[in-house]
């Protein structure tokens, strides 16, 4: 694994949704570094990638309420346990659970293991509420996948919060987990 600046020079075999992430970040003037790697299906695998990125790849959970009328993308440190009761209480909502993969794919164009805040660019109807743990929100760097889990990016959290999210029209709700 090698840290590289920006988009790959050779895009052969890259998925359109990945390339669209790079296109958008480039268009917005958001600098990023990238590392390509084998598919990262667990947070343990992401720890190796974290060392190369010199940033922590966040745990991203796609959640919904029982009726599936409200959807949430939770971004939190990988080492923190997820406690639905704690999160639901802070959001003032009914108990949340993992959303069906097909719902995540239709809203964010991400599949399980690749959920990413960058997928919010596809949520043009703003049906997904971004929820971010304070530790992630306050960190200098933000690590994520470009809507697929065999590449990881590092960008400044400030750029995510003040350039990317305003572009997509999404607000962030900060919680303490």
The two structure tokens encoding residue 39: 């598919």
Tens digits of residue pLDDT in 81-111: 888 999 999 999 988 999 999 999 999 999 8
Secondary structure in 3-state letters for 105-167? HHHHCCCCCCCCHHHHHHCCCCCEEEEEEHHHHCCCEEEECCCCCCEEEEEEHHHHHHHHHHH
pLDDT confidence of residue 166: 98
Q: How confident is the model at residue 41 (pLDDT cuts 50, 70, 90)?
A: low
Q: Are strands 71-76 and 128-133 parallel, antiparallel or unpaired?
A: parallel
Q: Is the pLDDT of residue 42 over 70?
A: no
pTM as predicted: 0.91
């Amino acid at each position: 694994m090698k840290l590289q600046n920006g988009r790959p020079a050779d895009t052969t075999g890259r998925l359109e949704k990945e390339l669209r992430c790079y296109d958008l970040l480039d268009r917005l003037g958001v600098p990023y570094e990238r590392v390509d790697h084998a598919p990262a299906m667990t947070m343990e695998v992401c720890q190796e990638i974290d060392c190369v990125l010199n940033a922590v790849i966040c745990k991203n959970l796609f959640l919904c309420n029982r009726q599936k009328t409200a959807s949430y993308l939770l971004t939190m440190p990988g080492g923190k346990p997820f406690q639905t009761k704690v999160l639901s209480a802070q959001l003032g909502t009914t108990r949340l659970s993992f959303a069906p993969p097909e719902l995540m794919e239709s809203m964010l164009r991400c599949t399980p293991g690749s959920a990413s805040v960058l997928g919010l660019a596809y949520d043009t109807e703003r049906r997904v509420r971004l929820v971010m743990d304070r530790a992630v929100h306050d960190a200098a760097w933000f690590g994520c996948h470009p809507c697929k889990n065999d590449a990881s990016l590092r960008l400044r959290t400030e750029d995510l919060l003040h350039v990317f999210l305003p572009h997509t029209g999404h607000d962030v709700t900060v919680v303490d987990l």
